[in-house]
Structure 1
Amino acid sequence: MARALRDVAYGVPDYALSVLRALEAAGFEAWVVGGWVRDALLGAPCHDVDITTSAHWRDAERVLDSCGIAVRETGTAHGTVTAIVGGKPVEVTTYRVESSYTDHRHPDDVVFVDDVREDLKRRDFTINAMAYHPERGLLDPHGGRDDLDLGLIRAVGDPRLRFSEDALRVLRAVRFACRLGFDVEPRTQEALARCADGLEDIANERIGQELDGIVCTGAVAWALAHEMPVLGVAVPELKPLVAFDQRSPYHAYDVLEHTMRVCRAVEEFTGGNASRELRWAALMHDVAKPITFTQDETGRGHFFDHPKVGARVCELLMRRLALPHDLIIPVRSLVRLHDHVVSPTSRSMRRTLMKFDKACPGRAPRLAFDLLDLKRADAVSKVDWVAGYAIELDGIELALRRELERGATYRMGDLAVNGSDVISATGIKPGPGVGLILQGLLSAVVNGDLPNEREELLRSLQI
């Protein structure tokens, strides 16, 4: 991958430049570091700017405050304060080196130093261990620009030492590889596999953040293919999928290979714009197959109730990873319904929308389209004669669009009558019974037994 990178593609933003200039005007050295340098060399968008400086954090705070720049003490134990310029944050950190990491996450001691090169030595990967100054240019003692040229994720120094210091770096390596489309340098890859067990010492929510970052790159299929020693520790529920023979006439691949292909296919069907929920559902849709597997007398494999069990497993593991509730519930619903039978009829479309709205109010249309993309991806990842179902789903998607354009009735609020109408027509007292009657009317309309017309609905209540 020859990118022939020479210099940053854009300048340091003015708001960050004002912080750097203030520190230099007070006699301190300062550099822009981290993700901004990497992304600016790649010509990729970057929203955060970090600065490292020879100034002790107390001096940095004093200098910036004297220049009218608001400062917050956000990590002073590690030498970090955050400057706020025009509402934009700039992290400012004193040059530092770190001691051993007993807990595999945080340094036992931090020592402030005077040389930026010493600071860069402690960083995780070469592509993140560069510093940039508008006049002095690029400082790259570890070959980060060369590795950007080559498309490589390479640890700074001894890879095993870097990962033993902070075990979360093994997932960060995978995330950067997925995000940038890079390979992992061989020595670094070997160390990833050897050090993955260190993730057991990392808080679940930190693992969840990194995994979500991996999934959201749209390249989780690559991670499943190349980094299962890491993912299997981060998400133990994925381990049983490896080489699990489905013994099914519908499947040509083991469960892990099938899952990998589904993850890749959802990106293809959505043009690389799959929703976060769909990407997680693709990863998790068959997670319960190994625990629901049975064989009949002919040796054929079956996975009875695996969507239902999988939805429960998916919810539990995502909650363990402290992922947000408004992500977990739609992912659970997609996993639960990924084998739900759909057809190109109004009734089928309304029933599907109603199921999603019950689980995720207000999100049913988007999730229904996600379900169809998940089904497409699932179909093309099976044997050839099943893959044709993906074409049938085009007609089903058209039926869904038409039903929505017609103003599909799938929520209680869509009914032509409301609770007051029910009370007037039946004499029932206000309470849960009103909701039950409305739910019955909704089911009748969704199933096509009644039209969503006020007079017809009220007449049905008199029968």
Structure 2
Amino acid sequence: MENGVRPQLNGTVLSYAGERALRVLEAAGLEAWVVGGWVRDALMGGAGHDVDLCCAGTWQQNEAALRAAGIMVVESGIKFGGITAVIDGERIEVTTYRLDGFYTDGRHPEEVTRATCVEDDLARRDFTVNAMAWHPERGLLDLYDGQGDLARKVIRAVGDPRRRFEEDALRMLRAVRFACRLDFWIEERTAEALAACAPLLDAVARERVGIELDGILRTAHGGDAMLRYPELMCAAVPELAACRGFDQQSPYHAFDVYEHIARVLTVAGELSRFRIDGGDPDQPPSPSLMWAALLHDIGKPQTFTVDERGRGHFYGHPEVGADMARDLMRRLALPGDVIRDACMLIRYHDLPMMAEREDLLRVMHIFSGEGMDTPRLMGELFDIKRADALGKAPSCFYYVEEIERMREMVRELIANDEAYSMATLHLAGRDLIAAGVKPGPRIGELLRRALKATMQGRVPNRTDDLLAFLDL
């Protein structure tokens, strides 16, 4: 910091920790640059990424310089020349200039060798918008017009895109994730390479694919990814391939199964962020809703039948789809609660519902299992039902009004403290014991009887009224 002015790029100030690590390294004679996401995001006018440094020193030299300055260092990635400096709780990734060797597994280089200059290091990076370096005094180093691609809103591979994807197949999903998150297009040659190299994704560990897919879905633009890059999305989720081009042969559907799913995914993302009962546009959409939207109809090809009039039907597809989704999501190593909630939404997304108190309480009871957030899940159920209706033929759009009416009724039921589960019933085993009931199986029987009665509207959800109803 000179004259009290903090170094900044395009109005984004470099953090104290990032600046200190850079200064310490350069004071030791080790040239260093800020690289990667921080540079990209700063040029776009915001600070949305951690600070990463690229340095001329070996990881041992970088570590020694930082430790000599009293900075804590974690040997986080020394196999690839990387360490982490921890300054005031902020983690700064510091990686030596490097060249990658041959990639034999479609993911990791066989060896990493030290490069002599930052230019060589930038040449090995994935996309032009990520291949820029910046220094407070030396300025911006942009060898591949990454700044121009930011202005054009384009994701473009550095060099030959096929070579980039053959080196690391996961870069294909990263390209789509960046395009979705930034609302960019993928440059034509790079997009062509995505389609051609999509089968290479089979070599990537499924949990890594799951992480990138989850990142795509959290952008709320997963539907765009499906429509623009179908070969890659079907390689990532092979169950989607059977849906592509699958004619539903139904007057209720204007699109094949695959395009219907893409449209549902798009609408669900928007509803999750902007619906009137609490959606926050600054927060990512619910992962359970996004995964449910992506997979809600994957059971359709397996359950397709045609009646005597030539109309297509998919009897049982929600149940089949939920089972398929569970296996698929486990394969991708997704969190257990996300799998549970998404599969529940898939299983019941086509459940007939009426805007009636008892029927809505019945559905709320279904979504009140252990660990479940019933109000949130009911909101997501209505989100996916609304998105599903809007992804069909225009003749089905009328159902949206009924869905919103049910959403409002559920909100009122919750506000009025209506019971739909044992946890929301204002009667507990201790109340029954205090009323003279002996501990044992009868306690559970009485509680279930009381819950059923209050859900049916025969008795208010108040302890005294429930006890009087049971007539102990």
How high is the TM-score relative to the length of structure 1? 0.94
* 8 Å contact from structure 2 (residues 437, 443) kept in 1: no
Measure, in 1, the Cα distance between the counterparts of 2:370 and 2:268.
Answer: 22
1:278 aligns with 2:301: no
Structure 1 residues 95-244: aligned runs within 5 Å: 95-244=97-246
Total equivalences in the alignment: 456
Structure 1 residues 380-419: aligned runs within 5 Å: 380-419=390-429
Q: 1:93 aligns with which of 92, 95, 98?
A: 95
Measure, in 1, the Cα distance between the counterparts of 2:434 and 2:416.
Answer: 29
Deviates more, 1:418-427 or 1:381-390: 418-427
Measure, in 1, the Cα distance between the counterparts of 2:286 and 2:144.
Answer: 37
Please report how far the alpha carbon of residue 335 of structure 1 lies from its aligned counterpart in structure 2 after TM superposition: 1.0
Please report how far the alpha carbon of residue 340 of structure 1 lies from its aligned counterpart in structure 2 after TM superposition: 2.0
Name the SS for the 2:369 alignment partner. helix
Deviates more, 1:333-342 or 1:453-462: 453-462
Q: 1:31 aligns with which of 24, 30, 33?
A: 33
Q: 1:307 aligns with which of 313, 318, 322?
A: 318
Deviates more, 1:436-445 or 1:230-239: 436-445
User: Amino acid of the residue matched to residue 72 of structure 1?
Assistant: V
Q: 1:326 aligns with which of 321, 337, 347?
A: 337
User: Amino acid of the residue matched to residue 319 of structure 1?
Assistant: R
Measure, in 1, the Cα distance between the counterparts of 2:46 and 2:368.
Answer: 38
Match of 1:290 in 2: 301
Match of 2:385 in 1: 375
* 8 Å contact from structure 1 (residues 426, 462) kept in 2: no
Name the SS for the 1:105 alignment partner. coil
Match of 1:3 in 2: none
Name the SS for the 1:73 alignment partner. strand
Please report how far the alpha carbon of residue 178 of structure 1 lies from its aligned counterpart in structure 2 after TM superposition: 0.7
User: Amino acid of the residue matched to residue 140 of structure 1?
Assistant: D
1:442 aligns with 2:451: yes
- In structure 2, stretches of 5+ residues that fail to align are 1-7, 275-280
Measure, in 2, the Cα distance between the counterparts of 1:391 and 1:290.
Answer: 29
Name the SS for the 1:43 alignment partner. coil
Q: 1:121 to 1:436 in 2, by over 3 A?
A: farther
Runs of 4+ residues deviating >6 angstroms = none
Measure, in 1, the Cα distance between the counterparts of 2:191 and 2:443.
Answer: 62
1:338 aligns with 2:349: yes
Q: CA offsets, 1:11-54, max 9 Å, x none?
A: 21111100000001111100000111111101133231100000
Measure, in 2, the Cα distance between the counterparts of 1:437 and 1:233.
Answer: 53
How high is the TM-score relative to the length of structure 2? 0.93
1:259 aligns with 2:255: no
Deviates more, 1:125-134 or 1:367-376: 367-376
Measure, in 2, the Cα distance between the counterparts of 1:268 and 1:162.
Answer: 33
User: Amino acid of the residue matched to residue 387 of structure 1?
Assistant: F
Please report how far the alpha carbon of residue 383 of structure 1 lies from its aligned counterpart in structure 2 after TM superposition: 1.6
User: Amino acid of the residue matched to residue 406 of structure 2?
Assistant: I
* 8 Å contact from structure 2 (residues 418, 461) kept in 1: no
Please report how far the alpha carbon of residue 424 of structure 1 lies from its aligned counterpart in structure 2 after TM superposition: 5.4
Please report how far the alpha carbon of residue 391 of structure 1 lies from its aligned counterpart in structure 2 after TM superposition: 1.6
Measure, in 2, the Cα distance between the counterparts of 1:132 and 1:191.
Answer: 29
Please report how far the alpha carbon of residue 460 of structure 1 lies from its aligned counterpart in structure 2 after TM superposition: 4.4
Please report how far the alpha carbon of residue 373 of structure 1 lies from its aligned counterpart in structure 2 after TM superposition: 1.5
* Identity across matched positions, percent: 47
Please report how far the alpha carbon of residue 428 of structure 1 lies from its aligned counterpart in structure 2 after TM superposition: 4.4
Please report how far the alpha carbon of residue 416 of structure 1 lies from its aligned counterpart in structure 2 after TM superposition: 2.7
Measure, in 1, the Cα distance between the counterparts of 2:47 and 2:322.
Answer: 36
Match of 1:77 in 2: 79
Q: 1:440 to 1:308 in 2, by over 3 A?
A: farther
* 8 Å contact from structure 2 (residues 162, 197) kept in 1: yes
Deviates more, 1:104-113 or 1:268-277: 268-277
Match of 1:351 in 2: 362
* 8 Å contact from structure 1 (residues 277, 327) kept in 2: yes
- In structure 1, stretches of 5+ residues that fail to align are 1-5
